[in-house]
């Protein structure tokens, strides 16, 4: 197969891969832990809503929480057992916060919810039905952000998709889970991609793989050949971080730029991770929800770096234990790779649908606590930024809390790849400033909305008070007039007297009202 030309992107870094250390062993399933801690939010969007109660028995694959809204994802029991608690537990998140989780006491029986043979050939199903299966399976993007896959597979009427990009780049150092998946299950990846192609109605599939993974590329090419699909291409892209970034990969493969503030679908492309593709295939053929994934356990801090197939909800400690446990070197536990991953303070945190790697870093593999010097505006970050931003200006304005300017400099085009911070000679934690600025801007947005609502309510209240006062006055006036009418019917002599009396009582009434209001 001829290899199509790639279209290089600006910036990026050539990094040392450290991939070999974790690809020596084949992927094996991890042990079933005693307790699974399944977070309700493992995706972008609204957290799922529990549909089980504490004490309830659940079966493997049974939905235990349903999506709340369209952009949300279902959560399933990764194994059979009893619901022990529904409460806040530490989750893998940079904040280190606890979030609502369903804790399942496993029974070791691994009993499935159903094992019938209602497994129709997916080729007979229409796109709608296929997408519904993906949704029911609670599949979210496994390459990064965890965006619900069924949403991405529904680009909307106006946006015809011509190309499906399968992201097998795996550009971050140390991580090898996609590599191992593609080596070992290439046909599943290819078939999963074809399912999505069908859902999207895409003309072609481009599979991008970094040049440092020849085995995976071979396996995939073989699978494509075996499937006889001539609309699929496996493309080798240079090993230059972050070639796996959605926008970068699409540019590499198609030469198209995803518009800023836009989606790939705007230019007729959808990009899915290779593992997502495999999960989609399982969902439509085996009716199996997303309850496990391959996780790379690596770094100088573990004794036997390797890849494991791990149930969602398994605590990190259990996973690391099965990679030979910690070595003396272990200083930092990073979820994800060294460029984008975040460090967690302890290992009592569960694996989620988006945890692709546990990097237990040794002392020499990571930078000790950053001790930044001021930015000297050297421009190294500008050269490195794949989004063609001016990281130092973003930093400067984020630091000054000038949130208007920072957006003028396109803060929201930053993909937080970390290239800028990696090359900064002053060791400034640049990306932290961008995350800070982004979250402040979002918070301000929320506050503004809240303020607008408060103002509307305040104005409504003032209007209500005003209206009530007006009504009260109208009532009084009406009463006075009624009194006058009645008097008119009386004798002419009594008239004047009656009117005087009515007026007196009316004003007394008014005075009483004013009194109560003033208090």
Partner 1 sequence: MRRFETATSPHLPPRDSVPALMRRVLYALAPGAALQAWHFGWGVVVQLLLAAALALAAEAAVLVLRRRPARRALADGSVLVTAALLALALPPYAPWWLTTVAVLSAVVLAKHLYGGLGYNPFNPAMVGYVVALIAFPRELTQWPAPHALAAPPGLDMALGLIFGGAQLPDALTAATPLDHVRTGLAMNRTLTELGAEPVMGRFGGKGWEWVAGGYLAGGLWLAWRRAIDWRIPSAFAAGLALPAMVAWGLDPDGHPSPLFHLLSGGAMLGAFFIATDPVTAATTPRGRLLYGAGAGLLTFLIRTFGGYPDGVAFAVLLMNMAAPTLDQLTRPRAFGEGR
Partner 2 sequence: MIAAVVALGAVAAVSGALLGYAAVRFRVESDPIVDQIESLLPQTQCGQCGFAGCRPYAEAIARGEADINRCPPGGEHTIRALADLLGRDPKPLDPERGAEKPPSVAVIDERLCIGCTKCIQACPVDAIVGAAKQMHTIIAAECTGCELCIPPCPVDCIHMEPVPVDLDNWRWPYPEARTENLA
Partner 3 sequence: MSEYLLILVSTVLVNNFVLVKFLGLCPFMGVSRKVETATGMGLATTFVLTLSSVCSYLVSEYLLEPLGLEYLRTIAFILVIAVVVQLTEVIVHKTSPLLYNVLGIFLPLITTNCAVLGVALLNAQTEHGLVESALYGFGAAVGFSLVLALFAAVRERLAAADVPVPFQGAAIALVTAGLMSLAFMGFAGMVRG
Ligand X SMILES: Cc1cc2nc3c(=O)[nH]c(=O)nc-3n(C[C@H](O)[C@H](O)[C@H](O)COP(=O)(O)O)c2cc1C
Residue 111 to residue 16: CA distance in whole angstroms: 43
262 binds, among ligand X, partner 1, partner 3, none (CB under 5 to 8 A by kind): partner 1
Residue 144 to residue 335: CA distance in whole angstroms: 11
Quick note: the x/- pattern for ligand SF4 over 381-410, rule CB under 6 A, is x--xxxx-x-xx--x---------------
Member of 417, 437, 498, 502 binding ligand SF4 (CB under 6 A): 417
Binders of ligand X: how many residues, by CB under 6 A? 30
500 binds, among ligand SF4, partner 1, partner 2, none (CB under 5 to 8 A by kind): none
382 binds ligand X (CB under 6 A): no
Residue 170 to residue 339: CA distance in whole angstroms: 12
447 binds partner 2 (CB under 8 A): yes
Member of 326, 396, 403, 436 binding partner 3 (CB under 8 A): 396
Q: Of 71 and 227, which CB lies nearer to partner 2 in the complex structure?
A: 71
Secondary structure of residue 171 in the 3-state scheme? coil
397 binds, among partner 2, partner 1, partner 3, none (CB under 5 to 8 A by kind): partner 3
Q: Of 439 and 507, which CB lies nearer to partner 1 in the complex structure?
A: 439
What the block records as the tokens of 137 is 């399976």
The distance between the two most distant Cα atoms of the chain, rounded to a whole number of Å, is: 116
- Of 84-92, 185-193, 335-343, 393-401: span binding partner 3 (CB under 8 A): 393-401
457 binds partner 2 (CB under 8 A): yes
DSSP 240: -
388-401 b/e (C-beta count within 10 Å ≥ 16 → b):
ebbbbbbbbbbbee
Burial tier of 289 (Cβ tally within 10 Å: 0-12, 13-18, 19+): buried
373 binds partner 3 (CB under 8 A): no
DSSP-assigned states of every residue in 31-80: PPPSEEEEES--SSSSPPEE-S-TT-EE-BT-EEEE-SSSS---EE-SSS
Q: Considering the complex, what minimum distance in angstroms separates the CB of residue 290 from ligand X? A: 11
Order the strands of the 75-76 sheet from edge to edge: 49-50, 63-66, 75-76
Member of 440, 472, 479, 499 binding partner 2 (CB under 8 A): 440
Quick note: the x/- pattern for ligand SF4 over 350-379, rule CB under 6 A, is -------------------------xxxxx
Within a 13 Å sphere around the CA of 340, how many CA atoms are in the beta-carbon half? 21
418 binds ligand SF4 (CB under 6 A): yes
Closest alpha carbon to 383 in 340, 409, 422: 422
Q: Of 52 and 182, which CB lies nearer to ligand X in the complex structure?
A: 182
Residue 228 to residue 256: CA distance in whole angstroms: 27
49 binds partner 2 (CB under 8 A): no
Q: Of 58 and 140, which CB lies nearer to ligand X in the complex structure?
A: 140
139 binds ligand X (CB under 6 A): no
429 binds partner 2 (CB under 8 A): yes
400 binds, among partner 1, ligand X, partner 2, none (CB under 5 to 8 A by kind): partner 2
- Contacts of 1-6 with C-beta under 8 Å, sequence gap 24+, read 1/221, 1/233, 1/234, 3/235, 3/236, 4/233, 4/235, 4/253, 6/235, 6/236, 6/237, 6/238, 6/252, 6/253
Q: Of 324 and 379, which CB lies nearer to partner 3 in the complex structure?
A: 379
Closest alpha carbon to 209 in 1, 423, 421: 1
436 binds partner 3 (CB under 8 A): no
Residue 58 to residue 444: CA distance in whole angstroms: 42
Element (H, E) at 270: strand 269-273
147 binds ligand X (CB under 6 A): yes
Residues that bind partner 3 (CB under 8 A): 374, 396-397, 399-400, 402, 405
Residues that bind partner 2 (CB under 8 A): 41, 91, 93-95, 97, 99, 371-372, 374, 399-401, 404, 428-429, 432-433, 435-436, 438-440, 443-444, 446-447, 450-455, 457-458, 460-461, 464
């Amino acid at each position: 197969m001829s290899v199509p030309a790639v279209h290089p992107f600006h910036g990026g870094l050539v990094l040392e891969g450290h991939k070999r250390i974790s690809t020596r062993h084949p992927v094996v399933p991890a042990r079933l832990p005693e307790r699974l801690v399944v977070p309700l939010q493992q995706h972008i969007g609204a957290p799922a809503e529990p549909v089980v109660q504490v004490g309830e028995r659940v079966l493997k694959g049974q939905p235990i929480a349903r999506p709340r809204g369209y952009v949300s994802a279902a959560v399933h029991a990764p194994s059979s057992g009893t619901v022990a608690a529904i409460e806040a537990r530490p989750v893998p998140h940079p904040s280190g916060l606890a979030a609502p989780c369903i804790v399942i006491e496993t029974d070791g029986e691994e009993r499935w919810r159903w094992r019938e043979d209602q497994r129709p050939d997916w080729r007979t199903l229409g796109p709608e039905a296929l997408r519904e299966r993906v949704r029911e399976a609670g599949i979210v993007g496994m390459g990064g952000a965890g965006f619900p896959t069924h949403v991405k597979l529904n680009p909307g009427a106006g946006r015809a998709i011509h190309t499906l990009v399968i992201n097998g780049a795996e550009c971050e150092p140390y991580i090898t889970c996609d590599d191992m998946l593609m080596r070992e299950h290439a046909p599943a990846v290819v078939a999963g991609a074809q399912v999505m192609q069908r859902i999207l109605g895409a003309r072609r599939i481009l599979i991008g793989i970094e040049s440092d993974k020849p085995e995976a590329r071979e396996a995939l090419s073989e699978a494509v050949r075996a499937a006889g699909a001539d609309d699929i291409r496996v493309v080798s892209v240079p090993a230059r971080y972050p070639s796996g970034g959605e926008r970068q990969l699409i540019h590499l493969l198609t030469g198209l730029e995803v518009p800023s503030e836009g989606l790939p679908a705007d230019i007729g492309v959808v990009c899915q991770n290779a593992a997502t593709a495999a999960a989609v295939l399982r969902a439509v053929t085996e009716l199996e929800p997303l309850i496990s994934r391959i996780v790379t356990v690596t770094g100088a801090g573990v004794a036997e770096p390797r890849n494991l197939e791990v149930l969602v909800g398994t605590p990190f400690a259990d996973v690391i234990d099965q990679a030979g446990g910690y070595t003396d070197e272990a200083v930092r536990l990073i979820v994800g790779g060294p460029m984008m991953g975040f460090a967690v303070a302890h290992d009592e945190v569960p694996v989620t649908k988006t945890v692709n790697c546990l990097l237990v870093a040794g002392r020499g593999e990571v930078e000790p606590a950053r001790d930044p010097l001021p930015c000297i505006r050297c421009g190294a970050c500008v050269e490195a930024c794949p989004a063609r931003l001016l990281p130092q200006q973003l930093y400067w304005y984020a630091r000054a809390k000038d949130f208007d300017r920072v957006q003028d400099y396109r803060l929201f085009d930053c993909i937080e790849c970390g290239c800028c911070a990696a090359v900064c000679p002053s060791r400034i934690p640049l990306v932290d400033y961008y995350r800070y600025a982004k979250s402040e801007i979002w918070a301000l947005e929320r506050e503004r909305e809240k303020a607008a609502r408060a103002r509307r309510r305040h104005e409504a209240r003032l209007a209500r008070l005003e209206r009530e006062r007006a009504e009260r006055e109208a009532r009084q006036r009406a009463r006075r007039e009624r009194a006058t009418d009645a008097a008119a019917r009386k004798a002419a002599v009594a008239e004047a007297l009656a009117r005087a009396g009515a007026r007196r009582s009316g004003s007394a009434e008014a005075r009483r009202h004013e009194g109560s209001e003033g208090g």
